[in-house]
Every structure is written in structure tokens, then in C-alpha cells.
Amino acid sequence: MTADSAPFIFPHRHLLSIEGLSPDDITALLDRAEGYIEQNRQGDKKQSLLRGRTIVNLFFEESTRTRTSFELAGKRLGGDTINMAAQTSSIKKGETLLDTAITLNAMHPDVLVVRHSESGAVQLLAEKVDCAVINAGDGMHEHPTQALLDALTIRLRKGRLQGLTVAICGDVAHSRVARSNLLLLGTMGARVRLVAPRTLLPAAVDRLGVEVYTDMEQGLKDADIVMMLRLQLERMQGSFVPSLREYFHFFGLDYKKLAVAKPDALIMHPGPMNRGVEIDTEVADDINRSAIRQQVELGVAVRMAVLEGLGQQPRNN
Ligand code: NCD
């Protein structure tokens, strides 16, 4: 498939979550994204599919790769991308969010890409604007484009998603990445395991329909994919782990723990990484086993597919 064949229209108004997407929706996005990978490696990366369209990146929380890759993705499709680093500081968050949404809406953007520290905030904003909204991470809820880029990485490296055993390890409780990934991987027929200390598992973990382990050796046994999560200290009130040293000892990925996984198990991490906390630095940089850099590369391709699919929809504003 070439990325510039027939226009790609995603059959949903927004991309707020993986929940609610069908296997066909997911496959269509992944196929489209795959067509952009080669183009992103060429000197001339630019297309004009989103010419005249305006994409606003509205980030209420810090970000390096997500914000940058959305910006690049919009630009590579020929759209006009602007970045807004929103400040939430002393103003009440609800008011700020709705005021911002109404203000931006009056400028007729075509796509709003939003990251916010509150779960559900992006959905709320989507209800107040006329344009398409993409969730770039809302609190501890979802981060759909991260799950899509992770799925594309797995599909390219392993040839499929169906039937693979994926161990998602670490701070699951605070992770929107884990949530979106377990929903997507479950929808696509992979077997998901969550591996974490009890204090870092979500409250209703037994209702998620996944296998749960509190021991790395058991959780990683024969896994095809080992996906490590950042210890999200900024979302923790109080102490969830005795010490970072002890956390690394029991839950940090090193070669010793990795040895029980399949010999060709792929190592993933959404970034940013805490080296020496959830992952050993040598394992993270292992060019044969780690897909961490490829995840970043494919993030641009996935966001191009999502922006293309939503940004070309007819507008009523
Ligand atoms: C993740 C996020 O923001 O949820 N990062 C990312 O988007 N690549 C994970 C994290 O912050 O640990």
C-alpha cells in the first residue's frame, strides 16, 4: 500500500480511547501508518493531504515525544500545526479547560490534539468543540496513539498480534499506556499479562480479563513481548515502593529476569525511561532486543494515519 492512494477516512469523529474501536478500525489505522514509514525515511517527507487544515496541539501536561511527533506528523501531511503549552497553575482546572476549548473553537481548527492530567478531561473538551479531538493522554485513563504505535511496532517485528504473550510490567496503576495497550492487544487477540507489585496494580485488576502476576520471573516466563512502564512518581501520593533500589531489584528489567522470556522476546518502553529504576541501561540499549527507538520512529507514522483519518472529515464549523 502507498500512503498517498485513496483518501483514508476514519469512521469515528474523534480518537478518545481504544475502548470502542473494532479490530477493523485498529487494522485500518495500522495499515495506513505502515504506508508512511518508508516516506518518513526519505529526504522529502512532505505531502499535501492536510493542506489548509489547522491542527492545534494543546498540552496541559509535559511531553517530549508525543507532542513532537504530532507536530511532525501534521507538518508532513502539509497541515498547519501550532503548539500551545497550557498552564493550569492557580486557575480552577474545569474552568480553564472549557474556556480554552470555547476560545480555540472560535478559531475554527480542524483537529485538536489534547493532553491533560485529569482522566476524562479530553472527552469533556470534545463535547464542547466542533472539530475532531485526539486524546494524547488523559490522566490515568487512556493514551490511544501510544497503544497504536506499540501495536505497529509489535506487528512489524513479530508479523502479527494474534496469539502473542505480552507482559506489561511495572507501574500499571498509574499508566494510561497500560490501559490502552491491554484494551488494544485484547481486541486483537494477544494474551496480556500484567506484572507489578501489588501496590502498583489497579484496584479492579481482576475485572480486566488479563493474567496478573506479582513476580517478574513468573510473569515474564515465555513472553514474546516485555513492555516496561515508567514508575510515575509524579502521580503518586504517598509511597508505593519501599525504595528505587529495591524496586529495581525486584521489578527492574535486567538480563537475568529477561532470561525466562522467549529467547527472541522484544523489549519495549513508551518513554521517558528511568534508567536503573524500571529498566537496566544495557537492556534498554540492546540493539538486537530493544524496540524502544523504533517505537518513537513509528509514533510519527501512526500519528500521520490518525491525523489523516480525522483531519479530512467534513467540518460543520
Ligand atoms: C507516556 C505517557 O505520557 O503516558 N509517555 C509517552 O507518551 N510516551 C508514559 C509515561 O509518561 O511514562
> Tens digits of per-residue pLDDT, 248-266?
999 999 999 999 999 999 9
116 Cβ closer than 6 Å to some ligand 1 atom: no
Residue with cell 501531511: 77
75 Cβ closer than 6 Å to some ligand 1 atom: no
| Ligand 1 midpoint to CA 177 (Å) | 7
Contacts for 88 with CB less than 8 Å, ≥ 6 apart: 60, 96, 117
| Ligand 1 midpoint to CA 285 (Å) | 19
- pLDDT, tens only, 62-111: 898 999 999 999 999 999 999 987 765 334 566 678 888 888 899 999 99
At 121, which amino acid appears? A
278: Cα within 13 Å, side-chain hemisphere:
26
54 Cβ closer than 6 Å to some ligand 1 atom: no
pLDDT at position 154 is 98
Q: Quick check: is 66 catalytic?
A: yes
Ligand 1 atom with minimal separation from the 175 CA: 4
pLDDT at position 2 is 47
Q: Which of 307, 34, 9 is nearest to 151 (CA)?
A: 34
| Ligand 1 midpoint to CA 169 (Å) | 14
Is the C-alpha dihedral spanning 286, 292, 295, 300 positive or negative? negative
Q: Are 268 and 295 in contact (CB under 8 A)?
A: yes
pLDDT at position 90 is 37
Ligand 1 atom with minimal separation from the 299 CA: 8
Please report, rounded to a whole number, the percentage of residues in the chain having pLDDT higher than 90: 81
Q: Which of 185, 187, 186 is nearest to 146 (CA)?
A: 185
Global pTM reads 0.95
Q: Quick check: is 143 catalytic?
A: yes
Q: Are 184 and 147 in contact (CB under 8 A)?
A: yes
* Res. 174: pLDDT tops 90: yes
pLDDT at position 312 is 87
Report d(CA 219, CA 226) in Å as an integer.
10
DSSP tag of 199: G
CA distances, 164 to each of 219, 236, 259, 266 (Å): 14, 31, 18, 11
* Res. 14: pLDDT tops 60: yes
Which residues are 116's β-sheet partners? 138
